[in-house]
Amino acid sequence: MFVETPNLPQSPVKAVIVGEKYSILSEPLANLGITPIYVPNSQILSEYENSHADMLVCHLKGRELALCGEIYDSFVSKYTDFGFLFVQGSAHTGNEYPSDVSYNLLVFGNRYIGRGDVADSELVKHLNRHGFEECRVRQGYAKCSVCIVTESAVITADSGIATALAATGTEVLKISAGGIDLPGCNYGFIGGASGKISKHKLAFTGRLDNHPDIEQILRFLETHGVEPVWLTDLPCFDVGSILPVIETGK
C-alpha cells in the first residue's frame, strides 16, 4: 500500500525514492527489505544537488507524485508499473537559488512549508486541492532542512522553520547547523540525510557521531519512541531526503 501521509509511514516501508547517484544506499536498503526507486539526475541543477530527490519530486498524498518536468518522461517510463499517479510540473528555470527550490516543499500534517511563492504552480495547485494549507517561510530548502520524527515532532537547524512549526503545536528540536556532509557545500541538512522507514524507525544515511548535538538528537528520538537506523558507517551525508512511498500496511 502507498504511504498515505507524506513522510509518515505507519508500517514497515517497502519502497523509498532516492537520487540515482546514491547507489551506496542500495545494499543497506535491500537488507531492510526496501526497494530504492531512483530519481534520474538533473541536467539543470548544480552538481551537489542534481540527484537530490527532494529537488525533483514531491510526494503529494498516497499514490500521487509531482515530478519536475525535466525528469518526468524518464521516471514515468521506468516506474509506471508501481501504480503511481503522476503529476507533471515545469522544469527548473535555473540552478541558482531560488529557481532551484520549486519542489523542495515540506508536506507535513495538513500543511506544506516552504517558499510557496517560487514553488511549481502545478505542485501548489494539487497540494491546495488536497486541502493542505501553506505555511510560508524564508527557507527555500524546506524539505531537506527538516527531519520528521513523528506527526508532531521534528528536528531542524533552521530558526525560521523551527519558529513556524512550533507555532502550530509541533515539538521542535532546534539543533546546530553542520555535522552533515554535502560535497561542494559547507554542510548539508539533516532532513536531506534521513527518512522514516516505519512508524518507529528513522533511517540516516550515515552516523551522526560528528554532529555537535548528537546526544540531544538521540534523546529526542528516544523520547518519541523512534529508533535511529544507520544505513552506513560513514559520517551522515545529505542525499536530498529518503522519501518513503510504499509500505507493507502490516
Query: Cα–Cα distance between 127 and 77 in angstroms, integer?
Result: 24
For residue 38, give the 3-state DSSP assignment.
Answer: strand
Instruction: Order across the sheet with 201-204: list the strands.
Output: 194-198, 201-204, 227-230
Give CA 105 to chain center in angstroms: 9
User: Does 208 map to a domain?
Assistant: yes
Query: Cα–Cα distance between 48 and 55 in angstroms, integer?
Result: 11
Tell me if 121 sits within 8 A of 141, measured CB to CB: no
Number of domains the chain is built from: 1
- Tell the residue number behind the cell numbers 523509498, with chain if given: 16
- Among residues 125, 119, 85, which one has the least CA distance to residue 103? 119
User: Does 165 map to a domain?
Assistant: yes
Neighbour count for residue 184 (Cβ, 10 Å): 9
CATH number at residue 58: 3.75.10.10
Query: Cα–Cα distance between 111 and 198 in angstroms, integer?
Result: 21
User: Does 80 map to a domain?
Assistant: yes
List the pLDDT tens digit at each of the 250 positions of the chain: 999 999 999 999 999 999 999 999 999 999 999 999 999 999 999 999 999 999 999 999 999 999 999 999 999 999 999 999 999 999 998 999 999 999 999 999 999 999 999 999 999 999 999 999 999 999 999 999 999 999 999 999 999 999 999 999 999 999 999 999 999 999 999 999 999 999 999 999 999 999 999 999 999 999 999 999 999 999 999 999 999 999 999 8
Tell me if 44 sits within 8 A of 24, measured CB to CB: no
User: Does 44 map to a domain?
Assistant: yes
The domain of 224 spans 13-247
Helix ranges (DSSP H) in 64-181: 72-79, 121-129, 142-145, 159-166
User: Does 6 map to a domain?
Assistant: no
Strands 194-198 and 201-204: antiparallel
User: Does 101 map to a domain?
Assistant: yes
* pLDDT the model gives residue 171: 98
Give DSSP secondary structure letters for 132-148: PEEEE-S-S-HHHHEEE
* pLDDT the model gives residue 250: 82
Helix ranges (DSSP H) in the chain: 26-31, 72-79, 121-129, 142-145, 159-166, 214-223
Cell of 5: 501521509
* pLDDT the model gives residue 145: 98
User: Does 38 map to a domain?
Assistant: yes
Beta bridge partners of 58: 66
Mind listing the pLDDT tens digit for each residue in 191-222? 999 999 999 999 999 999 999 999 999 999 99
Give the list of residues 6+ apart from residue 209 with CB closer than 8 angstroms, or none.
Answer: 235
For residue 220, give the 3-state DSSP assignment.
Answer: helix
Query: Cα–Cα distance between 14 and 247 in angstroms, integer?
Result: 5
